[in-house]
Amino acid sequence: MSKDVHALSGLIPVVRMRARSIDEPGRVSSPLELLFDLTFVVAIASIVTQLAHSVAEDHLGTALPNYLMVFFAIWWAWLNFTWFASAYDTDDVPYRLLTMLQMGGVLVLAAGVPTAFSSGDYTLVTLGYFIMRIALVVQWLRAATQDEAGRPTALRYALGISIVQALWIIRLFVTQGFSLGLQIAVFAFLAVCEMAVPIWAERRGMTTWHPHHVAERYSLFTIIVLGESVLASSVSVQSVVSAGSSSGEFVLLAASGLALLFGLWWVYFLEPAHVGLERNRDWSYFWGYGHYFVFASLAALGAGLEVSVEAIGHHLEAPAVVVAYAIAIPVAVFLVAMWALYRPLIRPTVIPPALSLGAAAVVLLLPLLTGVLPLAGVVLAITIVIALVIAGTILYRRPPQSKAAGPSQTTQGEREAA
């Protein structure tokens, strides 16, 4: 489908679904994709709130498995829609209606998050996930019907997703009364089955996903997750101010938290993902799947920041060192994940490995200073570490300046490396 036709497809009832070109010029996220992402704001906000309450009550050990499992459902449904849209987005009436159905599934899933955390009841979460996945099966069946070249791959996707969804429904009834450890084991098995479907479906050739489009979609979702962290912190700040508990430490914590989120945003966008995906398409599974740790850590950071603000204005069951680690661990996981994901894609990575891995180690040690420093001081120290990573990368990777070209001119290759 040509770019001009796609621009008008919202006015056309039905467009024949064809694989889009991998080098289509000017490919960006569509308004429908942006609207689709907004529904995930609700789901992520719900899971961040539940995790924050669990940290505050010092119940992290029981809440963390629920967080990781529910976040997998959110992330995996978003990921599958993103990669399908990159290859087969028609933006016609059937496509839009099926996307709306997936959005409804996200909202059902979000409604089930509180009961999943409080009582381990995954009925609504599973139902919402099922709605999203079945809508995607219909999309793949449509692609199989209308795109002859991609029919075998599309049919494998539809079959694989359908089988795994049946297993999720069976799990809902079979695992009642199982111990938490056994439930986690069953979940892990089904999660592996989910991630195996694309690998099996595309074993004889990949779908025509667009590297720049996919990189932009992941970037936008990263901003959404960071935005949830800002929102969670803002709500806590409002509650502290309303209670009249603000102080110098509170101001320091609020400023440090904002700077920390800004610094992690900076770190994420230092690496040119679109360049790496374009040059190393074979690493797309590793890069795409590995972003689970990036997204989950950034969302968890929002919960940690929310609890840290509450700790200033209220007495919490969780000790200060636990609250500090609720911030430090997500930051360290984010840094290690960024190093691992971009190491095979971009050689050398823009961020020197010694900086990212060294910073992760230092961040994990800083919460031990909570007996010496106030909680706000520990958060400030973590923020300074991230600032040093950014500054060190800028100084280390600064493009060489050509005397002939002048101080403000660089080559195309240097701009890509920067």
Residue 180 and residue 36 share a domain: yes
The model's confidence at residue 60, banded by pLDDT at 50, 70 and 90, is confident
The model's confidence at residue 415, banded by pLDDT at 50, 70 and 90, is very low
Residue 185 and residue 45 share a domain: yes
Tally DSSP H helices, then E strands, for the chain: 16, 0
Average pLDDT over residues 344-372: 93
Average pLDDT over residues 221-242: 79
Residue 163 inside a domain? The answer is yes
- Is the confidence at residue 391, as pLDDT, over 60? yes
Exposure pattern of 357-369 as b/e (b: 16+ CB <10 Å)?
bbbbebbbebbee
Residue 277 inside a domain? The answer is yes
The model's confidence at residue 245, banded by pLDDT at 50, 70 and 90, is low
Closest C-alpha to 6, from 219, 210, 152: 210
pLDDT of residue 313: 67
The number of residues in the chain equals 418
Please state, rounded to an integer, the average pLDDT across all residues of the chain.
Answer: 87
To the nearest whole percent, how much of the chain has pLDDT over 90?
61
Can you give the residue range of the structural domain that contains 258? Answer: 212-399
Euclidean distance between CA atoms 90 and 334, whole angstroms = 34
Euclidean distance between CA atoms 151 and 146, whole angstroms = 8
Residue 192 and residue 121 share a domain: yes
Residue 364 inside a domain? The answer is yes
Residue 195 and residue 231 share a domain: no
Residue 232 and residue 103 share a domain: no
Q: 31 CB contacts (<8 Å, ≥6 apart)?
A: none
- Is the confidence at residue 120, as pLDDT, over 80? yes
Domain count, the chain: 2
pLDDT of residue 244: 59
The model's confidence at residue 242, banded by pLDDT at 50, 70 and 90, is low
Residue 143 and residue 83 share a domain: yes
The model's confidence at residue 218, banded by pLDDT at 50, 70 and 90, is very high
Residue 333 inside a domain? The answer is yes
The model's confidence at residue 397, banded by pLDDT at 50, 70 and 90, is confident
The model's confidence at residue 402, banded by pLDDT at 50, 70 and 90, is very low
Residue 167 and residue 99 share a domain: yes
Residue 410 inside a domain? The answer is no
Residue 185 and residue 231 share a domain: no
